[in-house]
Amino acid sequence: MFQSLSALPADPILGLMATYRADTNPKKIDLGIGVYKDESGHTPVMTAIKKAEDILLNSQTTKTYVGPTGAAEYNDAVGLLILGQSLYNSLGKRRVTVQAPGGCGGLRLAAELIKKANSDATVWVSSPTWANHIPLLGSAGLKIAEYPYYDYATHSVRFEEMLACLSQVPVGDVVLLHGCCHNPCGADLSQEQWQQIRDVALKQGFTVFIDLAYQGLGDGLDEDVYGLRLMAEALPELIVVTSCSKNFGLYRERTGALTMICETPEAASIATTQIAAAARAMYSMPPDHGAVLVQMILNNASLRHEWNKELTEMRNRINSLRAQFVKKLQSIGVEQDFSFIEREKGMFSFLGVNVDQVQSLVKDYSIYLVNSSRINVAGINDDNIDYLATSLAAVLKK
């Protein structure tokens, strides 16, 4: 039977990670997959996670099943983190949060629910969007369309075109927005732009879907959910998928969630039964370990303080790397203007070079980045910034 299968190319992001690992060049630089790296190029386990793991090791008394919607304490803690206390209170039982196997698992759950609610729905994604959005949502059988988002020439959001496109999206369709730290371009919406999108969503009646994978890595834990809270306050319905991969450094533990805000508590309760059935049919129940650590940290003042401090250091490091990289390129005489990198948010920015130039960086200099020219800024450090800047300068001159 399996003779009929044909081989597929490697995933554009995960494949790059494998090639980087196999490269023996001591000067190699990994600007590919979106993982946080410290000054030594290491992706550490956060201190608060280590401490919570120590406590858990000595206190956990059972590993019995949890259930398809995951742990209630985790679900509440995540709901509170994204919404803040007052919105969390006012939404009450109109809001339901369900633990999921990472952000990807949450996206897939959301896709299943959208499909059940309206099998005809089109999901509108930004152009460009995260490389896995279209395969992931598409493989659930949803139709996908794109709205204009990033202007490669001006390195900013094509907001007028985006708004014009969204003004045509009908009720029954879904618009997927990046909550903060847009992946891949790093260009985020301003507060005024979020307000305008909220107004269009209210007028048109489409469903807003927010993918929030980087809360705390842009401007701050509360600042990064400005748009999400604006939507949650105003709209009758909202879908939010969150990930703890980056802001808790829990990548391989697959810790995420799907939050639904429904028009009524009854609708939310019905949606929960559908989500539970979808989870049961796909993977039965989400993995526990990461979620229990997140719950412990968010519900313990001292662990939470420690986590917040480390997250702040990570965010500040990324923001200062953005500034340093721009300065370095200027100081070695690169004529192109890269100042947009300093204005963008989160882990990613496009270098804005073409595929041949990307391939030259990869093959001639062992500098790994996605073909779109997306770089993970956190991969830059004091030891590699000179090599990176001079290699880029050389490739730009070719």
For 350, list phi and psi in degrees, rounded to 5: -85, 140
Place of tokens 């800024």: 377
Of 124, 130, 194, 307, the active-site residue reads 130
Of residues 13 and 282, the one with the C-beta less far from ligand LMR: 13
Residue type (1 letter), 320 = S
211 is catalytic: yes
Report the residue number, 13 or 80, with the smaller CB distance to ligand LMR: 13
Closest approach, Cβ 195 to ligand LMR, in A, equals 28
Shortest Cβ 212–ligand LMR spacing (Å): 12
Which of residues 13 and 202 has its CB atom nearest to ligand LMR in the complex? 13
Catalytically annotated residue among 30, 173, 188, 211: 211
Q: Exactly one of 28, 246, 328, 345 is catalytic; which is it? A: 246
- Element spanning 81, H or E: helix 72-83
What is the distance between the alpha carbons of residues 118 and 113, in angstroms, rounded to a whole number? 8
Centroid of chain to Cα 202: 25
Binding site for ligand LMR (CB under 6 A): 13, 33-34, 130, 132, 183
Using the minimum distance from each CB to ligand LMR, give the nearer residue, 130 or 338.
130
* CB-nearest residue to ligand LMR: 34
246 classed as catalytic: yes
Please say whether the beta carbons of 16 and 32 come within 8 A.
yes
Q: Say which residues have a Cβ less than 8 Å from residue 121's Cβ, sequence separation at least 6.
A: 114, 115, 142, 143, 172, 173, 174, 207
Min separation Cβ 139 and ligand LMR, Å = 15
Q: Closer CB to ligand LMR, residue 33 or residue 140? A: 33
Q: Which is nearest to 191 in space by CA: 220, 157, 223? A: 223
Cβ 108 to ligand LMR shortest distance, Å: 13
Give the side-chain half-sphere CA count within 13 A for 252. 3
State the DSSP string of 24-52.
Answer: --TT-EE--S-----TTS--PPPHHHHHH
* Least Å from the CB of residue 216 to ligand LMR: 15
Q: Greatest CA separation found in the chain?
A: 63
Distant-in-sequence, close-in-space partners of 14: CB < 8 Å, separation ≥ 6 = 33
Structure tokens at 320: 């200062």
In SS3 terms, 134-157 reads as HHHHHCCCCEEEEEECEECCCCEE
Measured from the CB atom, the residue of 30 and 310 that comes closer to ligand LMR is 30
CB of 251 to ligand LMR, least distance (A): 8
Q: Which residues are catalytic?
A: 130, 211, 246
